[in-house]
Structure 1
Amino acid sequence: MHSSVDHGRNGARVSAPGYTDVEPGLRLPDREFAVGRRDLVRYAGASGDLNPIHWNERAANEAGLPGVIAHGMLTMGLAARTVTEWTGGPDAIAGYRVRFRRPVQVPDSGQTLVVVSGVVTEKLEGRRVTVELTVRCGPTKVLTAAKVVVQMP
């Protein structure tokens, strides 16, 4: 997995930007997530979502899907992680919404790549900013209307 977290010379995490450092148009570092079947099984166990469309090819095909798909909430969580790495922690997220557009298909062997990019679109009162995310698997947008409200330091 590729990490876009900024680190200082000694490997320590660089502090999150402050409200005065952020303006509309600022791009967050792009983040790539490699997702494999093992990740889906782990997420199923952690979340309690044991639907076999997330780990069994036959069950996915019987449900009318082209193959095994990632959990929507896993995809949503990966997208949010892009913001939490930029801010320095999950406690900065004050609001989050997305629309699920297309499922992330995960091959039997190997991995699929989910790519997340973000841009600050608005400064709000109370030291908050809105970040719009673009979430793709290959050329396909898998989440749309993905917006995160972030409480800045």
Structure 2
Amino acid sequence: MFNICKKSGMFPIFSTMPRQPRFDDDEFKTAHCIHFQSIKLFSWIIPEFIFESNQTNDNKTRKMAQVLDAYVNKLVNIVTGDGRIIIGTLRGFDQAINIILDDSHERVFSSASGVEQVLLGLYIIRGDNVALIGEIDEDMDRNMDLSRIRADPLPAAKT
């Protein structure tokens, strides 16, 4: 999947999940990709070790935990496998990359109206539903006028 996405200038959206799909998985055939420029623009965390085929899933999960540890108590943006975008302060995570967010909200995008923010508060996201995690620049986020942003919601990753 990585090579197919890379040839088209894209990244697989499920790339931070602990288990990489095999070529014959249905997940492989229907996975969504995002453009490299989007990753640079929004500072998504997609460490290169995720794509190293010689590592076990345990090693990948351990390294992902090390990466996530740097973002504890920081504002993060999480894109889930079902297409939701959840913003909150990362308070913790476990070995399965289950995420605990505090002061969280979901941003619901619409092509007809501005971004709606649904307050969630303290929130847990299952690790197998985490697609992407990125740190948010709080000053830039605070200065964005979300009511003027129009976009279609992300589709759910098909399994």
TM-score tier after normalising by the smaller chain length: under 0.3
TM-score computed with the length of structure 1 as normaliser: 0.23
TM-score by length of 2: 0.22
